[in-house]
Amino acid sequence: MNTLLPTSTVGSLPKPSWLAEPEQLWSPWSIEGDALAEGKQDALRIAAHEQTRRGIDIVSDGEQTRQHFVTTFIEHLNGVDFENRETVRIRNRYDASVPTVVGAVSLDRPVFADDAKFLRQQTDRPIKWALPGPMTMIDTLSDRHYKSREKLAWEFATILNQEAKALEAAGVDIIQFDEPAFNVFFDEVKDWGVAALERAAEGLRAETAVHICYGYGIKANNDWKATLGSEWRQYEESFPLLQQSTIDIISLEAHNSHVPMDLIELIRGKKVMVGAIDVANEAIETPEEVADTLRKALQFVDADKLIPSTNCGMAPFARDVALEKLSALSAGARIVREELVTVTA
């Protein structure tokens, strides 16, 4: 990719209201059967078109074909019982009714490869596909079979690797693993979290990314953020390990967060997806605000490694809000791109 500061998003975008109820997570589908299959493709087509039209250089699926970034993948696994639900505390933050692991986990066929092939046909731009990371999957389940988070993480990593290879074969350029759990379980990140992530990414020719954030702009996350104090230094735990890892790109939250920008120095040498769009606030950033965040980030990341992005997914937003934010992101990136070209010319 030759574009300087190629823009991207973390992943999810609002779905059309005829496909799923808007402005909520885990929103049920509004249609079913063949109509649903066709509707998902239409939504992917729109998502690719809107991203392109609004200047997003690395096109994502917007999670248009899945209900939720973790559970939809888990639903396809053998060994998980969705009838047998238990209430667990997710990321030590909120309770949710989750499925139970009752036997050996495995995957018969790729979950998203056909959707990825379809997205590949919609655009000539590089495409990115997100999968949940092993630790975040574990944190969204109850386990009665392995009785070891580490063991189960390793099983998931092997399955994710299988899925990632299928996505790569479908033409995906960047495979992203979402690991918000890396901002919570620091001992496990050190003990096996990064190793499991590397296992998931093993042997891929596609670029690999890990997204670590403070979550969607939902109440439980916003309440948690309010307890974190004036400086959010959670990345300090995972970044030195990721700097040494095989993962190519690190995606982090920046704009309107209390993350000190200089923490990016800890991943020097990696590509960095810097969140310049707030997903917990409906106000549309101005291009100048976006540019300001990117300029600050450029003190700690080389220009050829900076990917302007969003803080997290935008699924809970009204559709026009999310789309306007895409436009703001690319307009802000354009400002800084022009400054960089002027300096080097």
**Residue whose CB is less far from Zn ion, 100 or 221:** 221
Near Zn ion by CB under 5 A, which window of 13-21, 28-36, 206-214, 333-341?
Answer: 206-214
Instruction: Write the interaction track for Zn ion spanning residues 312-331; mark x where CB under 5 A is met and - where it is not.
Output: x-------------------
Instruction: Write the interaction track for Zn ion spanning residues 283-312; mark x where CB under 5 A is met and - where it is not.
Output: -----------------------------x
Work out whether 274 is an interface residue with Zn ion (CB under 5 A): no
Near Zn ion by CB under 5 A, which window of 84-92, 115-123, 209-217, 269-277?
Answer: 209-217
Q: How far apart are CA 8 and CA 174, in angstroms?
A: 11
**Residue whose CB is less far from Zn ion, 43 or 273:** 273
| Helices and strands, counts by H and E, the chain | 11, 10
Q: How far apart are CA 22 and CA 27, in angstroms?
A: 7
User: What minimum distance in Å lies between the beta carbon of 278 and Zn ion?
Assistant: 12
Work out whether 280 is an interface residue with Zn ion (CB under 5 A): no
Number of residues in contact with Zn ion, rule: CB under 5 A? 2
**Residue whose CB is less far from Zn ion, 47 or 340:** 47
User: What minimum distance in Å lies between the beta carbon of 180 and Zn ion?
Assistant: 5
Q: How far apart are CA 192 and CA 333, in angstroms?
A: 36
Q: Which residues from 176-205 bind Zn ion, rule CB under 5 A?
A: none
Label the pairing between strands 142-143 and 271-275. unpaired
Near Zn ion by CB under 5 A, which window of 37-45, 213-221, 254-262, 293-301?
Answer: 213-221
**Residue whose CB is less far from Zn ion, 15 or 91:** 91
**Residue whose CB is less far from Zn ion, 184 or 312:** 312
What is the DSSP track for 159-192? HHHHHHHHHHHTT-SEEEEE-GGGGT-HHHIIII
What is the layout of strands, in order, in the sheet containing 94-106? 78-90, 94-106, 142-143
Q: How far apart are CA 211 and CA 222, in angstroms?
A: 18
Under 8 Å between Cβ of 135 and 181: yes
Work out whether 213 is an interface residue with Zn ion (CB under 5 A): yes
* CA nearest neighbour of 49 among 38, 41, 59, 40: 59
Binding site for Zn ion (CB under 5 A): 213, 312
